[in-house]
Amino acid sequence: MTETLFLTSDDVSDLAPPAAYVDAVREGYRQRGEGAPAEPRQTFVRSDPGGMLTNYAALLPDTSVMGGYMYAAGFGAGDAWFMTPLFDAESGEPLALLDGASMNPFKTGAAGAVAVDTLAREDATTLAVIGSGAQARGQLRTTATVREFTDVRVYSPTRENREAFADEFDEELEASVEAVGSSTAAVSGADVVITATTASDPVVACDDLEPGTHVTAMGQYHPKKRELDVATIERATYVPDLRKRATSDAGSFLAALEAGAVTEDHVHAELGEVVAGEASGRTSADELTVFDSGGTGIETVAGAYMLYERALEEGLGTKISFAPASEALTGR
């Protein structure tokens, strides 16, 4: 038997600041850029009751950890559950099992923040956020650690939601945070744009983007989900989290492919290749860059291992036992 640490959502919810997630995820993507294995998500759908089961995984050899994410959403309860197993990449033994719900916006936001740090202009000071939910919050909290923003504008369709978002972050951040009445008003003149929506139609138009803008789009993880229009994809230096994702579930890129505006060669590089220095990032002040963030095991494993190490230091979690196959496979 081996002892494995079980960490509840409460155990990890306040265990690490946003900057710690960013540092861990940056290191994870560096390893991916140097060849660490990771695959896009797999999703299994049931129509009655309606729901989906999704999983993805990664192995980070330099950190000597591997694992992934598995979550169920919908079905009869109409809710979601997130599980994150971690394994030692040397011994193969299970290290931890995390309730992954509370870390989700932070580890996903950290991937966006790494992209902003890698692809946005160094002098970026104005940020637009489209969306006001948990993912938008995670994106803003992490991205605010990599640039000194002075102005943040947020738009979401429900006025009460965007105003509550703006009030919350106006107190939390040193930047001035304002709710605005349209996507166009949010992105006009912005140096960095974050889209964190569930939209099926574009929420940002290329004509509204200034030269030199960086866009992080994190709500395009289904062929029918589109946050960016075809012109934005066509014009941009396009960087996905995983190259395979661009042609499997990256909705805006797939729409541009279907329209004949781009080919598969339009993918400039994976984020990890840019972080590792294997591919160029931004090359000019006027360049439009796009990071397409659909979620991978890279940020999940990197973020979860960081939380695991902190939990050990703090004495958090509950130990559970797993039997190795040599003991459990009795054949009886």
Condensed to tens digits (0 to 9), the pLDDT of residues 176-189 reads 999 999 999 999 99
Radius of gyration over alpha carbons of the chain, in Å?
A: 20
**Angle at Cα 279 formed by Cα 274 and Cα 284, nearest 5°?**
85
Look at residue 284 and tell me whether its pLDDT is greater than 70.
Answer: yes
Look up the domain containing 272 and give its range: 121-292
Mean of the pLDDT values across residues 127-141?
A: 97
Query: Is residue 320 scored above 80 in pLDDT?
Result: yes
- Same domain flag for 170 and 44: no
The length of the chain, given as a count of residues: 332
Same domain, 93 and 164: no
Q: Are 268 and 255 in contact (CB under 8 A)?
A: no
CATH code assigned at 306? 3.30.1780.10
Q: Where are the beta strands (DSSP E) in the chain?
A: 2-7, 42-47, 50-60, 65-74, 79-88, 94-99, 126-130, 151-155, 176-179, 192-195, 214-217, 237-240, 289-292, 318-322
**pLDDT of 14:** 92
In the prediction, which pLDDT does 301 show? 98
- Asked whether 31 and 55 are in contact (CB, 8 A), the reply is no
Strands 214-217 and 192-195: parallel
Gap between the Cα atoms of 121 and 133, Å rounded? 26
Give the whole-angstrom CA distance, residue 184 versus residue 329: 60
Predicted confidence band of residue 60 (pLDDT cuts 50, 70, 90)? very high
Number of structural domains, the chain? 2
* Confidence bin at 314 (pLDDT 50/70/90): very high
Q: Are residues 128 and 222 in the same domain?
A: yes
pTM for the full model?
0.95
Q: Is residue 261 part of a domain?
A: yes
**Structure tokens given for 249:** 């579930």
Q: For residues 143 and 301, what is the distance between their CA atoms, to the nearest angstrom? A: 20
Is residue 304 located within the same domain as residue 288? no
Residue range 253-260: mean pLDDT, rounded: 96
Give me the CATH number covering residue 153. 3.40.50.720
Residue 273 lies in a domain: yes
Residue 109 lies in a domain: no
